[in-house]
Chains A and B, each alone.
Chain A
Amino acid sequence: MVDWFRRFGEIPGVAYAKEPRIDPRRLHGYGAVPEVHVYDLEGKRRKTLLWPEKGGETSASPAHARAFGDSTDLTIAELVKNVYEGLELPGEPSDYHFLLQGCASELWKRRREEPDALNEVEELCKLDIQLVQSRPEAVTDQYSEEPTFYSILTFRILIDLYEREGFLAEALEVAELAAHCGQGDKERLDLQERIAAVASEDNGSSTSR
């Protein structure tokens, strides 16, 4: 099954309102509709989407193109603009995941130079986690015989962001969501242990390490 959506905000289970300063109608790829192609590989029937582009068609959706463009030379403002524009373009759920994750990771890397970007990092991670919860297949290896999740960086980033401030309950909440995707187990256990240690300070027991 290959799903696509006209914009990120249309994915059921995702609560996202359009960034008001963006006019999606002016964006390249806005309103594109893919054709579904069916083929057999290794005895299995598979589907793929082909998106129209100038002079032909491509398997990369407009949102995909935003997710995988070179972002090294972009400023923080350009990165953020790119991600919010990309969310208004048609794409598959995995395209939106890589778009959100890529931007969050890049902003996280640049946090020392641009601390202001941390609010954006938090917001993008939360959006990605919403997506992962509502569309887990977006982050699953479709060719694996058993369900295998990709490594989802936004979990790790958000856990780090909270943990280093001492917001253990918030970090644990994220780690528990990560556990549903088969990751962050060590962090989850570690956070549970730390929360118990802090609680023990106040109830007089001595489970603190």
Chain B
Amino acid sequence: MSGIESFGRQARALSDPDSLVELETKEGLSELFADVDALLAEVVIKALHREAVIQVQRGRHADSVSIDGLDVRLQTVLDHVFALANQHSRGAWFHPEKATCKAGLVNLPNKFAKYPRFATGLAWEERARVLLVESPAAVFLWAAVEPLFEQLFVPFELRGRIVGMKSREDQIAAWASVDEIVSALGFDVENELKVMRYGGGWSQLLAAEQLDAKKCLLAALAARADGRLAARYRAYRLLPLIDRYYSKAKDGRALRKHILSRPLERTLAAFFGGDWLRLLRYLGEAPHPGEETVTAIPEAKLFVSGTRNPDEAGTDIRVPAEKNERVLLAIDERVSVLKSFWRHFEEIHSRQAAGTRPLWGLVEESGSVRIGSEETHSYSAQLYRKLLPAEVIAEVERLWGSIMLRRWPDRIVSEISPHALMAETFGPALQFWQGTALTAWFVCEGPMSRTDMAGLPSYYQDAIGELERLGSRIDPALFMELRDAEQRLGPAEPLREDVSSVEVAHGIKFEISISTGSRRSGFDHLRDIITRHRRSWADEYLDSYLRARWETELWEAARRHAEAIAERGTPPTPKQFARHAVAATNHWFGGDLSSFYAAIGVESTVRPARVKLLPADPLNFVKQVFESLGGRPWERWSVASDREEGLAQAAERDKHSKLEWLAEESVRFIQLEEALGRKPELNEFGPSGFGYRSAAISPDLQEAWTTYSTAVEAARQLPPIDSGEGPLSEAMADPGPLAILKGESDAKADRTGSSDERHWLRRLFDR
């Protein structure tokens, strides 16, 4: 086809959307867009006529959006054209995983109708974080609808939320953009816009008059909206795409990746269903000979544990046998330690008896090192060190003691909390069974619980859903049995605790005691129900569950890798890809990205090096930093005798908590040093967090940073403090599970106001 004759070349010569629509009609191309035009017109006209077109449903991890009132035909168009899977099948892989859907922007006329005085703020706040894969409506909004309203409703921003905040130049540019879209859509609203324009007299209007002006504009837009606006808007969006195409094309041919900027990707998704070849047919051009349209990503393949044989995989990827062995070994070792952990976890819970200490702390929940994190009546920090055999603890620390940070995939650095990483690797099963056992404990033994037996399915719905997806379903009979058993627990017996007794004057004493909750007899019965179900679950599912855990994480990352290749045409660099591989790499390969690559059958271009600067006992190290910064133990007085004493206590508490934070963050300082190969700068460490607390060291920020980094480095060189309280010494002095459970540990008394109590409160009130 000759370039001069093509539709695209003729279209490129046009300067306005109406002319393009006319040319399309003349050339018989309008039908190509009839469905999408109808869908767009329906939504835009309804929105301008004050209907709440977009509905948002809030979700725990992502929200969802839907479009109200579409008839069957338009709903079919929406699903067919905009389902992400269909866009993928047409070769479009550029969509973000999640998008912020500005539903309120589309619903702005409706907000003005219902809440005129507060419409702009409400519209601005009505946003949804949506997973595009779950919602054709979200893809349609992202690609077609939002860009329209973002531009058309600029006057409401300029004369609303940001009035008086933009420079003259910025405002004039913004108004030019408004004029462009108003003209493109064929709206004559100059009279209504006049007073809103820069220098149009807005400052002379009272609030009620400003509101009237906005309402008038909305009414005029609604009155002038007709069925042609969708085609006009489409033409307005297509003109820059056509222009870009021919500015890059040679002999009428251009590679997709040379044409599609981010905004033009949206245009392709909106009006061609993401189909590059459809665009070429519209333009009347032939595909570039170098164009590869990937309509389906290759099936992700794993090369571990006999799941797939590389020869069977039918790819040209060659993974050396010794690498495959390394991958197998890495996963098998971890699965074996997870099973070993489970055996002890299972036994400890099954033997727990009423009247002993709770097992909150048996599974590490904190990813950081806490100085004050020791014991309360309810929580025992690092309880696993006292209850698990030393060899299990050592294996966890060996296998989960190193990670990759996503910004530095070429380095393997120290993990701050290996036991928390192990628990994360174990996943929802550990979270669910530990949580269920703890709930039974706190419901019976008190002082209070975050939920009750009847509330378990709702409280753990995410974990339960995830277990079902992984093929290891929790038997619903568990919840029924626990609910029944809860009905037969003993009556609530109040628990009280004496807090303090202070003599304020001769013969006059303040005594404070607080009600801390209640207990009910019958824990053993709940425990036995849970134990029976937990054992039954593990017998049936533990092996397949752990396999599904690593397979799912690897498959997911492998799929991402394949998608990235489909989108770019070349494999992503390790740095580009690290964020998708970080979970699988840290859970199953100790932070070694090259092992992850081997697992998915990709030759690694990175050879990560292990850098280890973090001392073997991070808690002792943190305590040394704390001391060298001038920190000292602090205890809250129950009652201050006067105002000055109260203020002095508050100041001391403030300094203490800041020094505590700075000391606790020193492990992250070392972790960054491992990644960077040098000491981190303040801006790499995080100036805002440090700046907020630096006055506890010095009023001068830079001086405080120098003192801090020197103290951290010095502490790193010191031998460990022989406190007898460190994790390693605790592990060595293991008094045995039964002694601990019977409360025979050397646990310190409850320390009101310490950070472990914060942790305790978080558990109690995190509902």
Contact = CB atoms under 8 A, between A and B. Distances in A.
B171 interface: yes
A197 interface: yes
Nearest to B646: A143
Contacts of B160: 164-166
A112 interface: yes
A166 B168 contact: no
Given A194-B164, A201-B198, A164 B114 contact: no
A206 B122 contact: no
Interface in B156-189: 159-161, 163-168, 171
A118 B118 contact: yes
Interface string B188-217: 000000000011111110110010000000
Contacts of A189: none
Contact of A115 (B115, B124, B198): B115
B120 A164 contact: yes
B215 to A, nearest CB: 13
B159 A166 contact: yes
Given A194-B163, A201-B202, A143 B168 contact: no
B642 interface: yes
Most buried by B among A166, A170, A208: A166
Given A164-B124, A166-B159, A202 B118 contact: no
Interface residues of B, number: 34
B678 interface: no
A209 B167 contact: yes
B724 interface: no
Given A112-B126, A202-B199, A161 B164 contact: no
Contacts of A199: 203
A39 to B, nearest CB: 12
Contact of B165 (A167, A194, A196): A194
A70 interface: no
B325 interface: no
B126 A208 contact: no
A206 B167 CA distance: 9
A146 interface: no
A132 B202 CA distance: 33
B116 to A, nearest CB: 10
A166 B120 contact: yes
B468 interface: no
A11 B750 CA distance: 47
A143 B644 CA distance: 11
A170 B207 contact: yes
A111 interface: yes
Given A115-B118, A202-B204, A164 B171 contact: no
B166 A209 contact: yes
B159 to A, nearest CB: 5
A73 to B, nearest CB: 12
A208 B167 contact: yes
B171 A208 contact: yes
Given A112-B125, A164-B124, A198 B164 contact: yes
Contacts of B61: none
A194 B202 CA distance: 13
Given A42-B642, A201-B198, A201-B199, A168 B165 contact: no
State the 4 A-B residue pairs at the shortest beta-carbon distance, nearest first.
Answer: A194-B164, A164-B121, A166-B160, A197-B164
Interface of B: 111, 114-115, 117-122, 124-126, 159-161, 163-168, 171, 198-204, 206-207, 210, 642-643
12 contacts: A115-B114, A166-B210, A167-B207, A167-B210, A168-B164, A194-B165, A195-B164, A197-B165, A198-B163, A201-B168, A206-B168, A208-B167
